[in-house]
């Protein structure tokens, strides 16, 4: 009894300390396991991200951007139907490639599958003062976005507009809610919003009418540099004399002081003739 009773008392005396040690040991074990899990997951995420980046780079390298042909019209229409709410019939694509074959570009993957395209045209309005290009449609499959496909086909088409057609600028319409497209056009390609077309789309959503200038406008850096060089040459060739307050009593001499060399010679001749007349009158 006593032994059993003492044993029971002894067990009760140390049970709290033992349980506490067990608790902290178990808690430390759980914490250690959690740290290992977090570390392994972070390592796996970093590894997967690196693999995705390498895959994206290799994927874009394997893709090809080229001019569209008649054989690409069906694939372009199919890509449009999968990506955009604004769709066109096949005749519309044929009209573009027959009219402006240099302004249609496609992007193919390593399996020769069309993953993106751009449909461009030149302004066909007779009353247009200057020739300019317009992007009718741009689409990239969701599986191949953020790989530089859209910017690649856009730059190819805009280069043709500038070099082949000598376009003044390129224009396009984009939905106000399409933030990804707005970032592409503004930040990557340098377009600027010219105006807002209200209820432009079928669902009455407004559109940003955007433009990118190529030549003949101050918004084009190339034109600005050329313009500055031309103005510098004109300033160097011209003889510019700032207007001054004349102190000459003779009005002919006063005019000659602030005029061109040719006019100065004419004024001097007039003054000489006037002087000779006075001398002739004096002799008489």
pLDDT tens digit sequence for 133-189: 999 999 999 989 888 999 999 999 999 999 999 899 999 999 999 999 999 999 999
Pairing of strands 133-140, 192-197: unpaired
pLDDT value for 18: 56
Q: Is residue 141 part of a domain?
A: yes
**Cβ atoms within 10 A of the Cβ of 4, count?**
8
pLDDT value for 103: 96
pLDDT value for 177: 93
One domain, residues 232 and 195: no
Domain count, the chain: 2
pLDDT value for 277: 55
pLDDT value for 207: 94
The pTM for the full model equals: 0.56
Q: Is residue 57 part of a domain?
A: no
One domain, residues 96 and 137: yes
One domain, residues 126 and 257: no
Q: Is residue 115 part of a domain?
A: yes
One domain, residues 210 and 240: no
pLDDT value for 237: 53
Q: Is residue 12 part of a domain?
A: no
What CATH number should be reported for the domain holding residue 125?
Answer: 3.40.630.30
One domain, residues 142 and 180: yes
Q: Domain residues for 238?
A: 224-271
pLDDT value for 48: 47
Q: Is residue 11 part of a domain?
A: no
pLDDT value for 273: 61
Q: Is residue 30 part of a domain?
A: no
Residues of the chain with pLDDT under 70: 1-61, 124-129, 215-284
């Amino acid at each position: 009894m006593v032994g059993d009773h003492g044993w029971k008392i002894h067990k009760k005396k140390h049970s709290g300390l033992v349980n506490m040690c067990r608790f902290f040991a178990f808690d430390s074990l759980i914490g250690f396991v959690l740290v290992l899990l977090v570390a392994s997951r972070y390592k796996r995420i970093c590894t997967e991200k690196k693999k995705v980046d390498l895959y994206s780079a290799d994927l874009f390298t394997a893709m090809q951007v080229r001019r569209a042909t008649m054989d690409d019209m069906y694939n372009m229409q199919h890509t449009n139907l999968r990506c955009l709410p604004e769709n066109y019939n096949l005749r519309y694509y044929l009209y573009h490639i027959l009219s402006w074959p240099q302004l249609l570009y496609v992007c193919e993957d390593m399996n020769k599958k069309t993953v993106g395209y751009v449909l461009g045209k030149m302004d066909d309005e007779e009353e247009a003062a200057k020739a300019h290009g317009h992007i009718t449609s741009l689409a990239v499959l969701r599986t191949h976005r953020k790989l530089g496909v859209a910017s690649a086909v856009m730059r190819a088409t805009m280069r043709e507009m500038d070099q082949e057609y000598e376009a003044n600028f390129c224009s396009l319409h984009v939905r106000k809610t399409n933030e990804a497209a707005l970032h592409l056009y503004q930040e990557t390609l340098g377009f600027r919003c010219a105006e807002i077309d209200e209820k432009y789309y079928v669902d009455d959503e407004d559109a940003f009418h955007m433009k990118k200038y190529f030549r003949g406008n101050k918004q084009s850096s190339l034109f600005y540099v050329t313009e500055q060089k031309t103005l510098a040459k004109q300033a160097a060739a011209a003889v510019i004399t700032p207007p001054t307050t004349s102190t000459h009593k003779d009005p002919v001499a006063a005019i000659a002081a602030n005029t061109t060399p040719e006019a100065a010679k004419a004024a001097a001749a007039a003054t000489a003739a006037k002087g000779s007349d006075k001398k002739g009158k004096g002799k008489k």
